[in-house]
Amino acid sequence: MLDDFEMVAGVEVHTELWTKTKIFCGCTTEFGGEQNTHVCPVCLGLPGVLPVLNRQVVEYAIKTGLALNSEIAEFSKFDRKNYYYPDLPKNFQTSQYDLPICIGGHVEIEVDGVKKKVGITRAHMEEDAGKLVHSGATISTSDTSFVDYNRTGVPLLEIVSEPDLRSIDETVAYLEKLVQILEYIEVSDCKMEQGSVRFDINVSLRPIGSDKLGTRTETKNLNSFSSVRRCLEYEIERQAEVLREGGKVSQETRTWDEAKGITLSLRSKEEAHDYRYFPEPDLVPMLIDREWVERVRQTLPELPDARRLRLMGLGLSDYDAGVIINSKALAEFFDAALAQFNDAKTLVNWVTGDFLGTLKAKGLPVQLSPVNPEGLAELLNLVAKGTINGKIAKSVLEEMFATGKGAAQIVQDKGLVQISDEGAIAAIVTQVIEANPQSVADFKAGKERAIGFLVGQVMKASKGKANPGLVNKLLQEQLAQL
């Protein structure tokens, strides 16, 4: 980070909404598909066509607004944003200008233990543009470009933050939090690699201590947290150099070159923007009555912050709760397992330890885990009841992952039931003591750690099935009698 300047950033997040059809026509929003096959006269912008608004888009926008603590406008409308670009079939984008659906709001972030509310200015609905494919490596080195309109008209929600972000970490934390919320409320599939969420970063610098805003640049269309981080690192350093040399940062739109790790100016006279917004005459305004808003509120799931607090109330550490809520799928897995096994602390150790570790090793997302929450709970209940010990449980879990069989089944099939018969264990203990005089001598000489080795030998002799508590107790007793 810089020591002479403070960065001031705000972000515009474009998220594709998870509807079945496009915002103004019945074409599918499915990603991919052969070029120009998810199109119809309406999204192709053919002469004479008219848009009809998808109700689900409005519902998702309301839902997002509620999750971001926004006010939902009672009166909202669409406007046309006029500019020429070949990925925009009508050469205007139907968007919202002065009366967006969501007004205000905030998201709470935490960086280095410090909590902060990041303001949301607004969120508005609009249509996505098509996709350009270039004949050369980049847009500027291509003599020809190819247009695919499959994505044209996919609904977008543009969420605009206040310029509240003061560091790269804050910016990334805000974006991660926002995407997490969008994922939680299921308004977007949040598949960043498919462009479902894209970021435009506005950033400026000002001398530390100043409260005046500097001139900002906008870098468009970043699609991962790591590019946001790299882009900001580059861009603030670039601006700082300009300022240190006494120059002026020009207000402009820039583009991020992922391969080179630099931002580039998109400035050109022809691009001087004057969007000539005016009310969309082909769509009628929306009156969003409060009943509708309340109905949507009922569909809101528990949001990440609330969930985190609830889990901490169950005794989870801040860190563990954070790991669990980080993905909605994991949090739901946790809650489902918790319904059948109510020791949250033991559960979280297993979930964040062996369970996630195994998934990670197998490269599987939680949703595709061969072990379901009920299965894990069954396993942990076997441990709790003393049917198997913890060590055996780990191997049973491995077996569950490998075969998909239930815990009780595996325990039964493999005869893994814990040996809790004192007589049987005492016999093994006696054998182990006889076979390891050196360790016994060490123990007697005060080397407490030697008992660990002896416990291990007993467990090994019992094929791991001996009740570790009993093994300890009986070993201590027999050693004391020597």
Contacts (Cβ under 8 Å, ≥6 apart) of 399? 405, 410, 414
3-state SS, residue 241: helix
CA distances (Å), 41 to each of 54, 80, 81, 370, 464, in order?
Answer: 16, 19, 20, 45, 69
Q: Is 437 in the site for other proteins (CB under 8 A)?
A: no
Contact segment (CB under 8 A) with other proteins among 140-148, 178-186, 212-220, 366-374 equals 140-148
3-state SS, residue 175: helix
One character per residue 87-106, x = contact with other proteins (rule: CB under 8 A): --xxxx--------------
Distance of alpha carbon 90 from alpha carbon 404, whole angstroms? 53
- Beta strands across the sheet bearing 79-82: 92-95, 79-82, 278-279
Single-letter residue type at 287: L
Contact segment (CB under 8 A) with other proteins among 54-62, 171-179, 320-328, 474-482 equals 54-62
Within 256-285, the residues that bind other proteins by CB under 8 A are 266, 268, 270, 272, 274, 276-279, 281-285
CA distances (Å), 271 to each of 131, 264, 265, 350, in order?
Answer: 19, 15, 12, 56
Q: Is 194 in the site for other proteins (CB under 8 A)?
A: no
Q: Is 309 in the site for other proteins (CB under 8 A)?
A: no
* Helix ranges (DSSP H) in 277-421: 290-298, 304-313, 318-326, 328-338, 344-350, 356-362, 373-384, 390-403, 407-413
Which of 148, 320, 332, 354 forms a contact with other proteins (CB under 8 A)?
Answer: 148
Q: Is 372 in the site for other proteins (CB under 8 A)?
A: no
**Considering beta carbons, is residue 2 or 266 the nearer one to other proteins?**
266
CB of residue 75 to other proteins, shortest distance in Å:
9
Q: Is 21 in the site for other proteins (CB under 8 A)?
A: yes
CB of residue 411 to other proteins, shortest distance in Å:
48
Q: Is 34 in the site for other proteins (CB under 8 A)?
A: yes
CB of residue 19 to other proteins, shortest distance in Å:
5
Calculated CA dihedral for residues 463, 468, 471, 477, nearest 10 degrees? 170
Question: Are the C-beta atoms of residues 411 and 387 closer than 8 Å to each other?
Answer: yes
Which of 15, 19, 95, 387 forms a contact with other proteins (CB under 8 A)?
Answer: 19
CB of residue 20 to other proteins, shortest distance in Å:
5
Q: Is 329 in the site for other proteins (CB under 8 A)?
A: no
| Inter-helix orientation angle 304-313/168-184, to 10° | 90
Contact segment (CB under 8 A) with other proteins among 4-12, 79-87, 182-190, 373-381 equals 79-87
Single-letter residue type at 97: Y
**Considering beta carbons, is residue 57 or 377 the nearer one to other proteins?**
57
Contact segment (CB under 8 A) with other proteins among 143-151, 161-169, 406-414, 463-471 equals 143-151
Could you write out the DSSP letters of every residue in 243-263? HHTT-----EEEEEETTTTEE
Which of 1, 4, 46, 421 forms a contact with other proteins (CB under 8 A)?
Answer: 46
3-state SS, residue 236: helix
Q: Is 32 in the site for other proteins (CB under 8 A)?
A: no
Q: Is 251 in the site for other proteins (CB under 8 A)?
A: no
Which of 25, 359, 396, 440 forms a contact with other proteins (CB under 8 A)?
Answer: 25
**Considering beta carbons, is residue 283 or 479 the nearer one to other proteins?**
283
Q: Residues in contact with other proteins, total (CB under 8 A)?
A: 66
Distance of alpha carbon 439 from alpha carbon 455, whole angstroms? 11
Which of 1, 4, 74, 86 forms a contact with other proteins (CB under 8 A)?
Answer: 86
Contact segment (CB under 8 A) with other proteins among 50-58, 169-177, 383-391, 434-442 equals 50-58
**Considering beta carbons, is residue 41 or 353 the nearer one to other proteins?**
41
CA proximity to 98, closest of 284, 273, 282, 277: 277
**Considering beta carbons, is residue 212 or 269 the nearer one to other proteins?**
269
CB of residue 217 to other proteins, shortest distance in Å:
18
How buried is residue 373: exposed, middle or buried, by Cβ count under 10 Å (0-12/13-18/19+)?
Answer: buried
Q: Is 49 in the site for other proteins (CB under 8 A)?
A: yes
Single-letter residue type at 239: Q
Phi, psi of 315 (to 5 degrees): 105, 5
Q: Is 142 in the site for other proteins (CB under 8 A)?
A: yes
Which residues sit at the interface with other proteins, rule CB under 8 A?
19-21, 25-28, 34-41, 44-56, 58, 80, 82, 84, 86, 89-92, 132-134, 139-140, 142-149, 266, 268, 270, 272, 274, 276-279, 281-287
